[in-house]
Structure formats: structure tokens, C-alpha cells
Amino acid sequence: MEMNEILDNLPRHLMSLVIDQPYNEYTPQDQALWRYVMRQNVRYLGKVAHGAYLDGLQKTGISLETIPSMDGMNRILREIGWGAVAVDGFVPPAAFMAFQAYKVLVIAADIRPINQIGYTPAPDIIHEAAGHAPIIADPEYASFLQRFGEIGAKAFLSPQDYALYEAIRHLSIIKADPYSGQDAIRQAEQQLNEISRNMGDPSELARIRNLHWWTVEYGLIGEPDNPKIYGAGLLSSIEESYLCLQPSVKKIPLTIDAANYNYDITEPQPQLFVTPDFETLNRVLDEFTETLALRRGGLYGIRQAIWSANTATCVFSSGLEVSGTVTEVMERNGVPVYLKTTGPSNLNFDGKELPGHDKGYHAHGFGSPVGRVKNLSVALEDFSEEELDQIGLTAGEAVNLEFESGVIVNGTLKDILICNGRAVVISFTGCLVTWEGKILFDPLWGTYDMAVGKCIISVFSGPADPEAFGLSYPAPVEKTHKIHHSEEAKKLHSLYQQVRDIREENCSFALLPSVWIELKNHHPGDWLCALEILELLKAKKIDDNLAQEITLFLLEKRSEGKSMAKLIDDGFACL
């Protein structure tokens, strides 16, 4: 994979999800499918998409003729400050957001099967490269997308969220495999429905995922009665880009209420949200962020961390960041007075682990009071080093700190850790910590490290320093299916390749009749290769009789249903 400056900055815990793009596995039919969709996009989306889309196609250098390679995309994306990596289908939601925060597009390496050319529930290279990449060429939108990733990566998820992600991933894998049986699809749908019905209260991540869906993926822009398309899911679906603008789809002005609307990846959406401009996207995101533990902190934030049962970070007002699995909070009148983590934890400042306070040192957890010290008019973190010494906080001296909450810390001061001129950790030996008669730390347990901070200003999902903490996103156990094509399919693909070679080399047009005969006699269910042959005949103004025969064949195919009729009519429109 060709790297650029953006990819060079990707942390190791995200690189574990990156795969090599299996470019040689794309079939000639896959290439024709890409070409059909992209030609339709330019023809139709030029009229209904936000102006940034077609501009972005040019700026990102995405070809209408061939499936893009990651190397080629990264050479172009470098110019707009972004990068791209190939991944295997859906990645964990928090990881997806983290990639976005690092200005990296995750591009599912697979391409949809031809029977899902109009819409697929699985992420694929059409969705990512033809949907997401062009629109990020707009600087205002790109800034919004990055900020969304930064915020989304810190939103709390519930234990049920990961089960839902795995069920969605499994269903998308099954449905993207053209050889999956109906029983397997029904079973995967039932599993997803069962999990969806038992999710409980929506987590922060569930709500921000909804907001992401109704903006980044399925967003409309402009006036509700005459909107344009900017969402990548719509831009990459030739079926939904048409359906979404029909009167039957309700258009709702965008507010943070969109976060309360769930979605179904397997069906067209019954309503969509319309933002007047990209600036409003940022305003709505800011308003939504104020509802998250990231901004609210306090008891709410700590309880979110406990509920998530996963690694979280509590930020004290001193700037100290405590990362670990938060398991307990003691509170009085709705205010936290003491918090505890269980298992390996670490202490950080400004996103970097503090020396001597790694997971090995805090292997069994961390606990500390939160709040002001009684009879002190100024919070401890606001004292200078000299002032701390003046109030009796001197190394080697016995100290008795009584907090306004009633927590008492009694021990011999070992040292005070200062960061950016503020005390963030005070360490004691022989220390006894109590609250309401309960022992919170016993002198026999060793050194007591006390966090400094009058309150918890922020709580977010994940560690403050992912690399030092050892955060990892293991590659998904269930892989997208490697498609093993039948001999019949391979013969069909060879016909697609012949047509492609004739078009690209601009010669050997006399071979087209024999290709058509082979296609008609042995692959009568195919329509796209027939359309490509017809395109060449008309472009070169040759063999009108053959062109008429293929036209009649395609007109007969229209009777197979509305979807097929639209595909063929749209194909005719590009001839």
C-alpha cells in the first residue's frame, strides 16, 4: 500500500484492521459494474447532487472506467489532506470513527454483486470511493467529517452495541455473497432483529451512529421541498439516489432529533433529514456533543463509563486523565466524591501517559477522591508549588486532607507530580483513605496515588493514550466471503473482458457479433454485457441489425420487474 503523510500518522491499533486491496480479484464483470454505476452517477447526480460532488470527482481523480486502487487514491487524496485504506467489510463503530478522526477513509475492498447493483446493505468500494471520497474534497464538509470522527470515537457504547455490530456485519456478508441461500439470509435477518429488539436504552454511540447515518450517509442539503444529495449512501446507490427524492420519502429539517431515529440498512429509508448548508451540520454536531459524557462529565459521565463496562477515561479538572475500566462511583447529592477503576489502568496528561503511572504500576486499578479540600478557598490544582508547601503539603511530612465530601486522606506525603504548573497527582506512603467509616485504601496496600481535581470535567470511551495503553482492534473473526465463481460465471466474465479490450484498444469490432452470440446462447440472464456491446455498436455506428437485435433483447428484459426496467432505461440513457 502506498503511504502518504496522513497514513504515516495512523496509530498501530488501527493498522490491524487494514488489509491489502485484492485488486486482481475484481472480475471483468465487476469492472463493468463500476463503470455502469459511475456513468449513471455523472449523468443523474450531476442534476440532483450537491455541487461539491462532481467537483470532488475531478479533484479526487476517481475514474469512471475502472475500479480505483488504494495507491492511486492515496496519491490524489494527499492533495486534499486525506488518505484511504482498504478494510474487510464493516469495522467496529469506534474504529470507524477513529479512522475518520485521523482523516482516513476506510474503503471496503469488495464490490457489490450485480444483483445488488442498485443498492447493497454491505459497505463496498462503490459506496466508499464513489460516495465518500468526492464529497470530502469540499473543505467545510471535510472538516465536519473529521470532527464527527473525533467525537464519535469517544462516545460510549453498551455491551449490546458490539453484538449488534457483529449481527449487522454477518448479515451484510451473507447478503453480499451472490451464492448465499435464502435460509442463511433469513437466519441472519432473524438474528439481527432479535438483537435489535433487546438493545435497551440507546447508548451514546447508538445515537451518534444514527446522526452519522442521517447526515454523512443519507443526508440531503438545501430546501426540504427541493433538496440536493450529499450523503455517501445515496451518492453510491443508483436506486436510492432516485427514490430518496420522491414525494413518498418524508423530508425533515435537520436537528439533533435525528439522533433518535433508528435505521434499517436492508431497506430504503422512509424519511430523510435536510440541512440547509454544511455550516448547519457543524452547529447540529456541536449541539449534540453537549449531550455526551465527553462534555458533561460529572456523575453522568462516570455512570456512562460504568454502564459501558469497557475502557474509559475520566478527566479531572486539573487535566489528569485516568484510563481504565470504571466500576464504582460514590456520590453525594448527585456529585461524585470517589471513583474507582478495576484492572489495569494508567494516568495521563494531555493524551500522553505519565512516567511511572502505566498499566503495570496500576495493574489492580485506581481510586481517588473528587472534590475540594475542606477549609481551602482554592482548589488544590490551583495552588502553585510554593503555595502547596505553605499549606503543609511537603514531601516527608504527615498530611491529613479532609474533603468537603467527607473523604479523609491521611498519610506521609511522598511527592507531588506537577504538569503545566498544576498539581495532578499527590502520592502518599502509609496512607489510610476513608469515607463514612468505610476504608477505601489501606496503608498495607503500598503507595497511594491521589488524583487532584475539584470535579470531573469530561468522561469518554477508550484510553487517553491508546498506544501506551495497548488499545487494539482485533481483525474480525468472520471474514467477507471470498467468491468462488463457477466455470459458467468465469466464461461470462471472459466475454466482459473481450468487450472491454475492444473498447479500450479501439479495434477488433468485428468480434462483437460472436461475443453477442455466445452471450445470448449461454448467458441469457445477463443484461450488462449486452448493454456494453450495444454501446460500442452505436458509438461506432456499425452493424445496425445487430444493434436492433440487442435493443429488442434488452427491451424484453424490462418485463422482469421495475428494478430491471429502470436499470435498462438508465443504461439506454447513457448510450
pLDDT in tens, 358-416: 999 999 999 999 999 999 989 999 999 999 999 999 999 999 999 999 999 999 999 99
Which of 16, 39, 36, 40 has its CA nearest to residue 28? Answer: 36
Q: Can you give the pLDDT at residue 46?
A: 84
Helix orientation angle between 204-212 and 278-289, rounded to the nearest 10 degrees: 170
Q: Can you give the pLDDT at residue 34?
A: 94
- Length of the chain equals 575
If 0-12 CB within 10 Å is exposed, 13-18 middle and 19+ buried, where does residue 61 land?
middle
Q: Can you give the pLDDT at residue 300?
A: 97
Distance CA 83, CA 99 (A): 10
Residues facing residue 435 across a β-bridge: 438
Q: Can you give the pLDDT at residue 288?
A: 97
Rounded to an integer, the average pLDDT of 449-465 is 98
Q: Which residues contact 379 (CB under 8 A, 6 or more apart)?
A: 317, 372, 373, 453, 454
Nine-digit cell at 264? Answer: 434499517
- For 537-555, give one letter per residue: b (16+ CB within 10 A) or e: bbeeeebeebbebbbebbe
pLDDT category at 478 given cuts 50, 70, 90 is: confident
Rounded to an integer, the average pLDDT of 435-441 is 96
DSSP assignment of 220-282: EEEETTEEEE--HHHHT-TTHHHHTTSTTSEEEE--GGGGG----TTS--SEEEEESSHHHHH
Residues facing residue 461 across a β-bridge: 312
Which of 542, 532, 544, 512 has its CA nearest to residue 572? Answer: 532
Local structure of residue 132 (DSSP, 8 states): I
Rounded to an integer, the average pLDDT of 58-79 is 84
Q: Is 4 in a helix, a strand, or coil?
A: coil
pTM above 0.85, yes or no: yes
Q: Is the pLDDT of residue 2 over 60?
A: no
Distance CA 124, CA 136 (A): 18
Distance CA 263, CA 29 (A): 31
Task: Decide the pairing of beta strands 335-349 and 220-223.
Answer: unpaired
Rounded to an integer, the average pLDDT of 281-289 is 97
Q: Can you give the pLDDT at residue 380?
A: 95
Q: Can you give the pLDDT at residue 162?
A: 82
Distance CA 456, CA 315 (A): 6
Residues facing residue 228 across a β-bridge: 221
The answer to whether 173 and 477 have CB atoms below 8 angstroms apart is no
CATH of 293-469, picked from 3.40.350.10, 2.60.120.200, 2.40.50.420, 2.30.30.100, is 2.30.30.100
DSSP assignment of 313-380: EEEETTSEEEEEEEEEEEEETTEEEEEEEEEEEEEEETTEEPTT-STTTTTTEEEEE-SPBTT-SS-G
Nine-digit cell at 268? Answer: 430504503
Distance CA 549, CA 411 (A): 94
Q: Can you give the pLDDT at residue 1?
A: 55
pLDDT category at 421 given cuts 50, 70, 90 is: very high
Q: Is the pLDDT of residue 4 over 70?
A: no
Percent of the chain scored above 70 by pLDDT?
A: 99
Minimum mean pLDDT range among 47-51, 274-278, 285-289, 477-481: 477-481
Q: Is the pLDDT of residue 199 over 90?
A: no
pLDDT category at 173 given cuts 50, 70, 90 is: confident
Distance CA 316, CA 334 (A): 17
For residues 314, 316, 318, 319, the Cα torsion angle rounded to the nearest 10 degrees is 20
- For 164-200, give one letter per residue: b (16+ CB within 10 A) or e: bbbbbbbbbbbbbbeeeeeeeeeebeeebeebeeeee
How many Cα atoms sit within 13 Å of 35 on the Cβ side? 20
Q: What is 5-286's CATH superfamily? A: Aromatic amino acid hydroxylase (1.10.800.10)
Q: Is the pLDDT of residue 329 over 80?
A: yes
Q: Around Cβ 414, how many Cβ atoms within 10 Å?
A: 16
The answer to whether 129 and 150 have CB atoms below 8 angstroms apart is no
Q: Can you give the pLDDT at residue 110?
A: 87
